[in-house]
Amino acid sequence: MREILELLERDSTLSHDTLATMTGLPVADVTAQIASWEQAGVIRRYKAVVDWEKVDGDDSPEVTAFIDVAVAPARGVGFDDVAERISRFDEVQSVYLVSGGHDLRCTVTGRHIRAVSDFVSQKLSTIDRVTATATHFVLKTHKKDGDSFAEPEQDHRLRVTP
């Protein structure tokens, strides 16, 4: 059954019939298992990975930043309460507890650099026990969620004719 999850993670548009064919399971079993995972919260949502640089118009791209956050841990909760609070902001796409020089790494999006800057200075850094932040702006996306944004190389070989 794990194979179904791996296939859906790679391509959420696969139909239940296609998943059944690929896994060798009956369609009814695939449908029931997916419904069970959706209800239990194992499958959180379905989404598309968009290369915003290829979308026409000036309003498409947003600024993305990785923000490393140092937190003074609290007895009994560690970093979890601060991570939960940060997670509630609309600008925050993800929050991870990480090893290294900082405790949390957040992915934040905004309409422009100033919006991300305002988020860090007015919302993030004012949270109790946040002791430091380091912001890293994304300049170009090469790969996201397992999908490469690189253009495939053209085949420069000469055609073989009989």
Q: What is the pLDDT of residues 83-136, one digit of tens each?
A: 999 999 999 999 999 999 999 999 999 989 999 999 999 999 999 999 999 999
pLDDT value of position 10: 84
Helix (H, G, I), strand (E, B) or coil at 108: strand
- The answer, yes or no, to whether residue 30 has pLDDT greater than 80, is yes
Query: Burial letters for 27-60: b for 16+ Cβ neighbours within 10 Å, e otherwise?
Result: eeebeebbeebeeeeebeeeeeeeeeeeeeeeee
pTM of the model: 0.65
DSSP tag of 119: I
Give the list of residues 6+ apart from residue 139 with CB closer than 8 angstroms, or none: none
